[in-house]
Structure 1
Amino acid sequence: MMMIMSEKSASPPHVLLISAGASHTVALLTGNVVCSWGRGEDGQLGHGDTDDRLLPTKLSAFDGQDIVSVTCGADYTVARSKSGKDVYSWGWGDFGRLGHGDPSDLFIPHPIRALQGLRIKQISCGDCHCLAVTMENKVLSWGRNQNGELGLGTTKDSHVPQKILAFEGIRIKMVAAGAEHSVAITEDGDLYGWGWGRYGNLGLGDTNDRLIPEKVNIDGDKIVMVSCGWRHTISISSSGGLYTHGWSKYGQLGHGDFEDCLVPRKVQALSDKLISQVSGGWRHSMALTSNGQLFGWGWNKFGQIGIGHNFDCSSPMLVNFPHAQKVVQMSSGWRHTVAVTDRANVYSWGRGANGQLGHGDTKDRNVPTIIDAFSVDGCSEQHIESSNYPLPGKSFASLSERYAVVPNETALGSYATTSSDKSDKFDASVPENDVSLDSPTINQFETMM
């Protein structure tokens, strides 16, 4: 194993960008270094194998590459070069979510040929589909399309990127992908939604699916940023206001209740804050203010909100960091959260079963815990190792060698499966004990105090 830091006195590399997936995490560091850690069963770490990594490990496949962006999907990862003309993907390939023309898994990064030469400025990865925006404000989509989340007017999956024709003539600023729904905002501040809408997560006032993008009404307010959770949507207005809509069984909308919202609703608890960044987890939400305060709410079974207990919260709760550090960026995974502070420290908390927290173990944490290898205030003896690449063996796995357990939303509690299932009931990415419907709430917690 090669060490990035060989001297104890050397300062750690700084994290420029960090992204959390279902059970893995990827970071872009100074020095053009990409690291990944956590669950590796589907190749989503990009180290050429399917091993979990409990500590951040350098992704050797990107040696000499000029990577400027990394984005995690549920069990796959996408990276973009500085020019925007090279986009790479790796990990679980079912439904064509990797964009390479087939559903094979990839254990190391491969360039998406259909995107080569296009100048990509932003990419968002959902559970099983991807969205990309070009410098010319065009939008492409690929992957699973069971509920129209690709915006192509059909429900047919696409194994390669296709242009969303409904956006012709509309200047798209950014996109966000959820489990089975998608959203976009325009340069003029308009919000669009499409795909799976049965909890109101499209914000269109009903529970119908949409096969093509449709404009959302937010009472004349302009939207400047948006993020999708599993089945909810979080957006920021030009005035710094926070809106949420969709599924709220665990309080992930932040309105102090557990009622779904069919249209965007302002989060009154944060009405006195200027929100600068939002991130939707599987069933929890995080919001960052302009002065570096981080708030979290929703499902908290594994401590993914980061407030010192494991009770669900239906209203935003302030996350505390040592020495009152300010947060400069953050990302929500399915059951964990990561953040970077103004002291160049990196913290993680929540589910740690696959090492996705990067602390060298599989323990859960319910408060922000420093990742030593990346942090100025971390243990100086913690080093970043490098994967041994190239490795012997294959760099991909075909669909016939894999398994898939896919929710069938047409029948409550029914799941359609293919061969070699690893679970009788749930997607292998979702351990059965993670899908408890009986998580206690903050109100129950207060009663116990």
Structure 2
Amino acid sequence: MVAAGAEHSVAITEDGNLYGWGWGRYGNLGLGDRNDRLLPEKVTVDGDKITMVACGWRHTICVSSSGGLYTNGWGKYGQLGHGDFEDHLVPRKVQALSDKFISQVSGGWRHSMVLTSSGQLLGWGWNKFGQIGVGNNLDYCSPVQVNFPRDQKVRQISCGWRHTIAITERDNVYSWGRGANGQLGNGITIDRNVPTIIEAFSVDGSSRQHIESSKPYPLSALGVTTYYFRRGI
């Protein structure tokens, strides 16, 4: 599995090891310093195997085999979720989520979103445009829950630069955050700080079209293969 930030890259090998390379000024490589790396270098994450990774602009988010969430890198806007606004040079477990099993992660420019195995969506970080989706424009340095109409659970998330998109268990698509260029897909150019339905792709929308791929089919049934890096190749 691979992920790319603005100027850094990360990868997980088939044996669960995390590697980083590229620009490291904010500790976004997780190697304990602020130096750049021209070649991939192994990142130590509490001795755990890593199963999932995502990059924000200058930060990195990864998930261990036990569902624990770790973040490192730029923290000026609280995007690491550790209750502070500091940079962290090595992956640090987000203690506020220690009782959750994280199933998906996504990183925006300065915000982060995670999905738990129970379908709960949480976010934190820069929130100037409402991209966290909790009804205000305050920055958060710890995870806060995002609520949906009729308490819908979430099955897929993705962060943009300043906005976020989610698909719920009812096959409804929601967006929130910066809307100046129409990126929220709701026909207007106004920012939204709570999830707003994209009717064109939602079961509960007027068009009743929906995104079939959002259903939790096994990847093998879709003909999708997940590729990991094999060391020594």
- Both structures adopt the same fold (TM-score exceeding 0.5): yes
2:97 equivalent in structure 1:
270
Report the Cα distance in structure 2 between the residues aligned to 1:177 and 1:314, rounded to whole angstroms: 23
Among 161, 171, 185, the residue aligned to 1:334: 161
Secondary structure at the aligned position of 1:269 is classed as helix
1:230 equivalent in structure 2:
57
1:219 CA drift (Å):
2.3
1:189 equivalent in structure 2:
16
* TM-score, scaled to structure 1: 0.46
1:281 equivalent in structure 2:
108
Structure 1 segments, 4+ long, off by >3 Å, are: 380-383
Secondary structure at the aligned position of 1:234 is classed as strand
Residues 198/364 of structure 1: CA separation in 2 closer, same or farther (3 Å cut): same
For the pair 1:365 / 2:192, whether they are aligned, the reply is yes
1:27-426 pair list within 5 angstroms: 174-380=1-207
Does the 8 Å contact 2:202/2:209 carry over to 1?
Answer: no
1:379 CA drift (Å):
2.1
1:380 CA drift (Å):
3.6
1:220 CA drift (Å):
1.1
Report the Cα distance in structure 1 between the residues aligned to 2:209 and 2:100, rounded to whole angstroms: 37
Report the Cα distance in structure 2 between the residues aligned to 1:276 and 1:349, rounded to whole angstroms: 21
Does the 8 Å contact 2:203/2:209 carry over to 1?
Answer: no
Secondary structure at the aligned position of 2:34 is classed as coil
Residue identity matched to 1:192: Y
Query: Who wins on radius of gyration, i.e. which is larger?
Result: 1
Q: Where do 5+ consecutive residues of structure 1 fail to align?
A: 1-173, 384-449
Root mean square deviation, CA, Å: 1.2
* TM-score, scaled to structure 2: 0.89
Report the Cα distance in structure 2 between the residues aligned to 1:218 and 1:307, rounded to whole angstroms: 30
Secondary structure at the aligned position of 1:259 is classed as coil
Residue identity matched to 1:352: G
Report the Cα distance in structure 2 between the residues aligned to 1:181 and 1:236, rounded to whole angstroms: 18
Q: Deviations over 1:376-397 (max 9, x none)?
A: 11124899xxxxxxxxxxxxxx
Secondary structure at the aligned position of 2:150 is classed as helix
Report the Cα distance in structure 2 between the residues aligned to 1:366 and 1:329, rounded to whole angstroms: 19
Report the Cα distance in structure 2 between the residues aligned to 1:381 and 1:269, rounded to whole angstroms: 38
Report the Cα distance in structure 1 between the residues aligned to 2:147 and 2:14, rounded to whole angstroms: 34
Q: Deviations over 1:207-248 (max 9, x none)?
A: 000000000011210100000000000000000000000000
Secondary structure at the aligned position of 1:323 is classed as helix
Q: Deviations over 1:173-197 (max 9, x none)?
A: x000000000000111100000000
Q: How many residues align?
A: 210
Q: Where do 5+ consecutive residues of structure 2 fail to align?
A: 211-233
Report the Cα distance in structure 2 between the residues aligned to 1:373 and 1:200, rounded to whole angstroms: 41
Indicate the percent of aligned positions where both proteins have the same amino acid: 82
Secondary structure at the aligned position of 2:200 is classed as helix
Secondary structure at the aligned position of 1:202 is classed as coil
1:317 CA drift (Å):
0.4
